[in-house]
Amino acid sequence: MTAGIASVLGVSIVAVGLITTVTIATSVAVAAIVLAMVGLAVQSHVSSSTTSVASSSANAPEPGAEPSDD
């Protein structure tokens, strides 16, 4: 009887440990995916802002420049 109870408790402890491990691993994986997505979104936003600023400043005429006759 005592061996049966100990066996059930042992299996329960192992099961809880496995469930906890899987839960933590899943949480870490989800957090890594979310951080990667946020990082990509920020990088995309920053690069598009930098590109638009660079292109608008490249196309802007210099102050006091004469218009070209081309």
Q: pLDDT tens for residues 10-65?
A: 999 999 999 999 999 999 999 999 999 999 999 888 887 776 665 665 566 666 66
Strands of the chain (E only): list them: none
Looking at residue 38, its pLDDT comes to: 95
pLDDT band at 67, cuts 50/70/90? low
3-state secondary structure 12-67: HHHHHHHHHHHHHHHHHHHHHHHHHHHHHHHHHHHHHHHHHHHHHHHHCCCCCCCC
Looking at residue 66, its pLDDT comes to: 64
Looking at residue 1, its pLDDT comes to: 78
